[in-house]
Amino acid sequence: MTIAEFCNLHCACDEGREWALSQCQTMQDVWDNAKPEWLIWIATRSGVLTDQELRLFGVGCARRVQHLMTDPRSVKAIKVAERYAHGLATDEELDTAMTAADAALKVAAWNTNWGAFNAANAAACAATKSTKAATSFWDKSCAAIKSAKAEAMAAAMAAAMAADESGGDDAPRDAALAEAKVKVLEAQAAWLRANTKPTFTRENCDFVR
């Protein structure tokens, strides 16, 4: 698939399309050089990654904020989700872990520690069963996308809370929040490049078959 075909098929934004067409020769070039937020968008388009890669991406996102989790049920959900991705856990085990992670998330919602809440959300999303059970690509990728967003929020909120000792000055908190979001996106992009093998063909796109 050419860059233009990929952009047209997936309705790429004008800025991303212009950059890719002017700076890259192939979609692999785009994958290797796109800025983090664009790379993550590409990775979660239909057919680019396998179901297993999408699930493991979600697991990786949750694991990076595991230190913020306050409930062992969230931590266990990550482990079960990873085992499930490798075919080492059953549907029933994942269902149980997902239910427990959702319960932990509800408890965390009553806590004022929003970093911990979003970390728990990342674990719950990573453990969702939708990747395997889905009938459409959008359902398959949903867990990975939500886990990635939850990781970003968890890290950002934790950094903002840590910096919120400025006596009413919002600047340090805002700077910490922005920096944390950038670091998370960079980490997510690095994981994708190191752990996945993207495929860029029309045949792999569920919604054009």
Q: What are the helix and strand counts (H, E) for the chain? A: 11, 0
Q: Give the integer Cα–Cα distance in Å for 22 and 138.
A: 29
Give the SS3 label for residue 33: helix
Q: Hey, how many other C-beta atoms are within 10 angstroms of the C-beta on 22?
A: 8
**Which residues have a Cβ under 8 Å from the Cβ of 169 and sit 6 or more positions away?**
none
Q: Give the integer Cα–Cα distance in Å for 129 and 55.
A: 10
Q: Give the integer Cα–Cα distance in Å for 5 and 41.
A: 16
Q: What are phi and psi of 17, to 5 degrees?
A: -60, -50
Write out pLDDT tens, residues 135-172.
Answer: 455 555 678 889 999 999 999 999 888 887 655 567 88
Write out pLDDT tens, residues 83-140.
Answer: 999 999 999 999 999 999 999 999 999 887 889 999 999 999 999 875 444 445 555 5
Kindly report the pTM of this predicted structure.
0.89
